[in-house]
Chains A and B, each alone.
Chain A
Amino acid sequence: MTGVPRRWRLRLYALECWYELVKQLRMPMFVVFALGFPVMFYIFFGVLFGRGSAPGGGSLGTYYIATYGAFSVISSALFGFGGSVATERGQGWMLLKRASPMPPEAYFIAKLAVSLLFALTIVVLLTICGMAFVGVRVSLPIWSRLAATLVAGAVPFCALGLAIGYWAGPNSAVGVVNLINLPMAIVSGLWMPIEMLPAFARGVAPLLPPYHYSQLALATLGAGRSGSPLGHALVLVGFSGLCLTLAYAGYLRDEGKTYG
C-alpha cells in the first residue's frame, strides 16, 4: 500500500471519480449509445403504446420505464466498464496508473461510481420523458423502489463489463459488447414485453441475467411475470461472482503479459 495519508487518499478517490465522469461525458459515442438510444426508444414505443395496459397490470408507459431503464443501465455499465477498461489497457494506461500514488482500487471504484450515477440519471431521464410524453404517473415511494432496484442492478453488469474489458482486445471490446448486449436485451424482454416475443425467446430468457434484472425492476411496479424476487436476486448475485472471477483471471493474465 502507498504511504499516502488518509485525507489525501479520499481526495484521490474523489478526483479519480470526477475525471472518470468527465472522460465518459466527453466520449460522444458513449453518451449516444448508453443514454440517447434508450431514451429515443422509450419515447418512440411509449408514445405509440404507452397508454395500453401492460402484461401483469399497470400501464405500458410505466412498464417501459423499467425495461428501457434496465436496457440503458446495462448498456452504460458494459460500455463504461468493458469499452474503457479494454481501451485503457491497450493504451498502457494501467502502467501509468500503477506508477502514480493512487490506490489501484480507486480506478475500479471510480468506474463503478460513475456507472451508478449514470444509472440514476437514466431512470430520472426516462421518468421525465414518461411524465412529459406518455402521461405516466408514479407515486414517489414506488418510483424510489424502482430507481433503487435499477441502480443496484448496475453492479452485476459492471462486473460483466470488467470481465469483457480484461478478455477482449482494445479494438474488439466495443464490438463484443454490442454482440452480447443487443441480442441479450431483446430476448430478455427489454425492448418489448416478453409476452410478445416468440416462444423460443420466452424459453431462453430465464437463462439470461438481464431478464432477472428487468423482472426485479418490474416487480416494484407490481407488473411483469410472476416469479421469485429471491430467485432473480440470487441469479444476479451468482452472475456477479462469476464475472468478477473471470475478470480476476483476465487481470492475472494481463499482469503476466506485462510483467512476466
Chain B
Amino acid sequence: MDSTVKSRLKSRATPVVIAVLSVGIMAIGMALDHASATRAQVRPRAIATPQAPITAIVNARVFDGERLIPSATVVFEGDHILAVGPDVTPPPGAAIIDGAGQTLMPGFIDAHTHASGDALERAVVFGVTTELDMFTDPDFARLRRAEQVSSRVTTRSDLRSAGVLATAPGGHGTEFGIPIPTLASVGDAQSFIDARIAEGSDYIKIVEDDGSGYGLTWPTLSHEELAAVVRAAHWRQKLAVVHIGSQRDAMAAIDAGADALVHLFSDSAPTPDFVARAVTQRLFVVPTLTVLESETGHPSGASLVHDARIAPFLINAEVSALRSTFPFAGTGLKLAHARAAVAALKAAGVPILAGTDAPNPGTTHGASVHRELELLVGAGLTPIDALTAATSTPAKVFGLLDRGRIAPGLRADLILVNGNPVEDITATRAITHVWRNGAVVVRYTFVAR
C-alpha cells in the first residue's frame, strides 16, 4: 500500500479509536454508578449534616420517654442531646427543623429480636435505634460491638445481645441447623454461663418450653437446671430472661427466680396467682404479641404491608415475611389470653416492654415494632404506656442509661413523626426523620426507580 494512504488511514483511525475508548470509559462509569446506587438502595446511609453540627427541633410535641410535652424545643449536638424544654432557645448557627404538627420521640428499643445479616440497618429505617437480641451468633454480636465502640456515625441500630441461649440438648434453639453448646446437667450451669459471658453475652437468655403449646415435643430444661442457670447468671450479675411457651412454663420461670419473661403465653387465661407472683418477684415482661399473633395463624405483619406509611420502605423479602405464619398454626392458641395477661400485668404495675421476636414468621426488624405498639394499645395499654414500653422502660430495666429518654446528655437517637401517637398509636409509622447518634438516616423507598 502507498505510504500516504497508510498515514491518512492512520490519522482517520486514531480519532475513531479514541472515541470508542471514551464511550467505553463512560459506560464503565455509568455501570459503576448504577451498581453502587443499586447496592445503596438496600442499605440506609447515616449522614452527618456537614454544615450544621448543632440541630434544633422546634414547635414539636415531645414524648420524652415518660410524658408528653405539648410543644418544646430539643437541641442536640453531635451524638448527644443538649437541651429539652418549652423555653429552650436554639443556639445561633443551629440547623432548625420546624416540627409543628409532629411528634419527637426517643428512638425505639425492640426488646426481643434475633439479629443477623442486615437486620440492624433495616431496623433503623423504621425508627428502631436499639435492638435487644435474644439469641444470635456471638461472632455477629462481637463485630457489631467493636463497631459501636469505634464509630459515631453509623447506619445500624445499636445491639445488645444474649449470644447463645441456654437450652437442653435437642431443645428449642437447636432446630435452626447451627450447632450450639447446650446444657446437659445442673453441674454444667456455672461453666455454661461463664462461657457465654466470655463470648460477650450482655444478659442470659434461657429456654423453658416443651413445645406442647404448638403440638410439638421438645426436650427442655428441668426445673432444677432452670433454677441453676438463673443462679449462675445472677452470680455473675447478669439478667436472666426466659423464653416460655405456656403459662406453666411462665410459672416455672418465676419459681426459678428469673428476672423477665421474653414472651407471654396464649395457651390459657392468666391466673390471679401468675399475676401476683409476677408482682412479688418484680418481674418484667416482653409480651411479643406480634409473634404470638402469627402463632395463632394470623400473619401479624399483613396490615403493615398495606400501610402507606410503612410499605414504601419495605424490601421484597420483608413483604413476604410479614405475610407469613408459623407452620403449626391452629393449635388452640388464643391471642385473647395474651391480651388479658398484658392488661392484668399492667394493672398490677408489672413493667411491660415492646418486643417483636423478629424475624420470625409475620415479623420483620423495624417495621414490626409499630404493629407491636398497636397490639399493646389494643390489649389495654394507653398509648403513653405503649411508647414508654418501647423507650424508657427497656432502657431502665436493661441498664442502658444513655438512651430511652429525651434528656440533656443522652444519646441523640430520635424519631420525628407526623401526627400525634398519643391520640393514634399508628402515627408512629409516619416517620419523617430518624437520627442515629445525631446523624440523619436516609430512608430509601423501594418504589421503582
C-beta contact mask, A219-242 vs B, less than 8 Å → 1, else 0? 001110111101111111111111
Distance (whole angstroms) from the CB of B440 to the closest CB of chain A: 5
CB-CB under 8 A from B433, the residues of chain A are 53
Whether B19 and A230, one on each chain, are in contact in the complex, defined by CB atoms closer than 8 angstroms, is no
Whether B50 and A199, one on each chain, are in contact in the complex, defined by CB atoms closer than 8 angstroms, is no
Knowing A59-B95, A202-B449 touch, does A235 contact B26 (C-beta < 8 A)?
yes
CB-CB under 8 A from B332, the residues of chain A are none
Whether A227 and B25, one on each chain, are in contact in the complex, defined by CB atoms closer than 8 angstroms, is no
CB-CB under 8 A from A132, the residues of chain B are none
Give the distance in Å from the alpha carbon of A28 to the alpha carbon of B47 in the complex. 42
Whether A234 and B49, one on each chain, are in contact in the complex, defined by CB atoms closer than 8 angstroms, is no
Whether B51 and A207, one on each chain, are in contact in the complex, defined by CB atoms closer than 8 angstroms, is no
C-beta contact mask, A196-228 vs B, less than 8 Å → 1, else 0? 000100110011000010010000011101111
Q: Contacting A233 at CB < 8 Å: which of B29, B51, B93?
A: B29
Give the distance in Å from the alpha carbon of A203 to the alpha carbon of B26 in the complex. 17
Q: Contacting B29 at CB < 8 Å: which of A51, A142, A225, A231?
A: A231
CB-CB under 8 A from A246, the residues of chain B are 19
Distance (whole angstroms) from the CB of A238 to the closest CB of chain B: 3
Give the distance in Å from the alpha carbon of A84 to the alpha carbon of B278 in the complex. 85
Asked whether any CB of chain A lies closer than 8 Å to the CB of B48, the reply is yes
Whether A226 and B37, one on each chain, are in contact in the complex, defined by CB atoms closer than 8 angstroms, is yes
Whether A242 and B442, one on each chain, are in contact in the complex, defined by CB atoms closer than 8 angstroms, is no
CB-CB under 8 A from A138, the residues of chain B are 51
Asked whether any CB of chain A lies closer than 8 Å to the CB of B348, the reply is no
- Closest residue of chain A to B18 (Cβ to Cβ) is A245
Knowing A139-B51, A228-B36 touch, does A242 contact B19 (C-beta < 8 A)?
yes
Whether A228 and B47, one on each chain, are in contact in the complex, defined by CB atoms closer than 8 angstroms, is no
Asked whether any CB of chain A lies closer than 8 Å to the CB of B448, the reply is yes
Give the distance in Å from the alpha carbon of A59 to the alpha carbon of B94 in the complex. 12
CB-CB under 8 A from A169, the residues of chain B are none
Knowing A57-B47, A137-B52 touch, does A232 contact B33 (C-beta < 8 A)?
yes
Residues 47-66 of A at the B interface (beta carbon under 8 Å): 51, 53, 56-59, 62
Asked whether any CB of chain B lies closer than 8 Å to the CB of A248, the reply is yes
Interface residues on B, range: 35 or more
- Closest residue of chain B to A202 (Cβ to Cβ) is B449
Distance (whole angstroms) from the CB of A260 to the closest CB of chain B: 13
CB-CB under 8 A from B27, the residues of chain A are 238
Give the distance in Å from the alpha carbon of A38 to the alpha carbon of B118 in the complex. 42
C-beta contact mask, A178-209 vs B, less than 8 Å → 1, else 0? 00000000000000000000010011001100
C-beta contact mask, B407-449 vs A, less than 8 Å → 1, else 0? 0000000000000000000000000010000001010000011
- Closest residue of chain A to B16 (Cβ to Cβ) is A245
Q: Contacting A226 at CB < 8 Å: which of B45, B49, B96, B440?
A: B45
C-beta contact mask, B45-70 vs A, less than 8 Å → 1, else 0? 10111111000000000000000000
Asked whether any CB of chain B lies closer than 8 Å to the CB of A117, the reply is no
CB-CB under 8 A from B29, the residues of chain A are 212, 230-238
Give the distance in Å from the alpha carbon of A247 to the alpha carbon of B308 in the complex. 51
Distance (whole angstroms) from the CB of A136 to the closest CB of chain B: 8
CB-CB under 8 A from A53, the residues of chain B are 97, 433, 440
CB-CB under 8 A from B35, the residues of chain A are 228, 231
Instruction: Pick from B24, B51, B440 the residue with the most CB of A within 10 Å.
Output: B51
28 contacts between A and B (CB under 8 A): A56-B47, A57-B49, A137-B93, A139-B50, A139-B51, A142-B50, A199-B449, A202-B449, A206-B34, A215-B33, A221-B50, A222-B49, A222-B50, A226-B36, A226-B37, A228-B32, A228-B37, A232-B29, A234-B26, A234-B28, A234-B32, A238-B22, A238-B24, A239-B22, A240-B22, A241-B25, A242-B23, A249-B15
A interface residue numbers (CB < 8 A to B): 51, 53, 56-59, 62, 136-139, 142, 199, 202-203, 206-207, 212, 215, 221-223, 225-228, 230-242, 244-246, 248-249
B interface residue numbers (CB < 8 A to A): 15, 18-19, 21-37, 40-41, 45, 47-52, 93, 95-97, 433, 440, 442, 448-449
Beyond A137-B93, A199-B449, A238-B22, list 10 extra A-B contacts (CB 8 Å). A58-B47, A199-B448, A206-B33, A221-B51, A223-B47, A227-B40, A231-B34, A233-B29, A234-B25, A238-B25
The 5 A-B pairs with the shortest beta carbon distances in the complex, nearest first, are: A234-B29, A241-B22, A238-B25, A231-B32, A231-B33
